[in-house]
Amino acid sequence: MRRIVSLIVASLIFCLGSGPGHSQVVDCVVAEVNGKAMTLTDIRILKEFAVLPDSWGATLPETLRQALDEAIDRRVVIDLVREDIEVSADETDDVLARLKRRVGAGPWQAMLARFGLPEEGLRPYVEDLIRYVKTIDLRFGPKVEIDPQASERFYEEVYAPSQRESGREPKPFSEAQAEIEVWIRSLKSRELAAVWVRSLRGQADIRIHESCLEQAK
């Protein structure tokens, strides 16, 4: 299996282009996680389309390295946990619609064209994202207890200022409390998950091909 993956790496890195000299790099394998290849194009798609756990308030990756780390975390959890997490077509449609709204219809179509992708081609990436988030929520969501005083502090220090910065008048605390508790639970779950994922990464066979990342510079 390792030999097969190595051959794939070599064939992608040295794939011949159609121009003079036949030396243009088309794609390459940027990482292997438990023997499964991730290509540079995979990581570019995740970065450009921002296929990220939005409910965690995740910041968009600024570099391909950050997007790669996010993708490795996702793959490690899905591979090592091996839980049967179902993802429905409706869930995938909802996330795709949210991503499209964030980007805008015009730029969205231009990005798809740049990668030579139909919109359906994004489904496997989105399904992995949903599976990853569900796994984290199932493992850590029930463990997070919400302190009422912490909710009030969060309202004053985070929620209300963020609403005003967006040009909106904050809802009263009584109306925003449920939303705030979801937000706090997501943030705390993410903190717990980060420790867990680091431990899973220590058990996984992860190989990053720096030469492939260099091709993107």
pLDDT per residue as tens digits for the range 81-97: 777 789 999 999 999 99
pLDDT tens-digit map of 39-96: 999 999 999 998 877 544 456 778 899 999 999 999 999 888 777 789 999 999 999 9
Q: Say which residue the tokens 């109306």 belong to.
A: 175
Q: Over range 117-144, report the average pLDDT.
A: 88
For residue 143, pLDDT over 60 is answered with yes
**Domains, the chain, ordered by start:** 2-142+189-215 (1.10.4030.10)
Determine what percent of the chain is predicted with pLDDT higher than 90.
Answer: 49
Q: Say which residue the tokens 């003079």 belong to.
A: 20
Q: Say which residue the tokens 């490690």 belong to.
A: 76
pTM score of the predicted model:
0.71
- Higher-pLDDT residue of 29 and 58 is 29
Lowest mean pLDDT among 48-52, 116-120, 169-173: 48-52
Element (H, E) at 173: helix 173-203
Q: What pLDDT is attached to residue 9?
A: 41
Percent of the chain that is helix, strand, coil (3-state, to 5): 70, 5, 25
Position 133 confidence tier, pLDDT thresholds 50, 70, 90: confident
pLDDT tens-digit map of 177-212: 988 888 888 788 878 888 999 999 999 999 999 999
Nearest Cα to Cα of residue 60 among 108, 120, 102, 112: 102
Q: Distance of alpha carbon 86 from its chain centroid, rounded?
A: 18
For residue 106, pLDDT over 60 is answered with yes
Task: Quickly count: other Cβ atoms within 10 Å of residue 167's Cβ.
Answer: 6
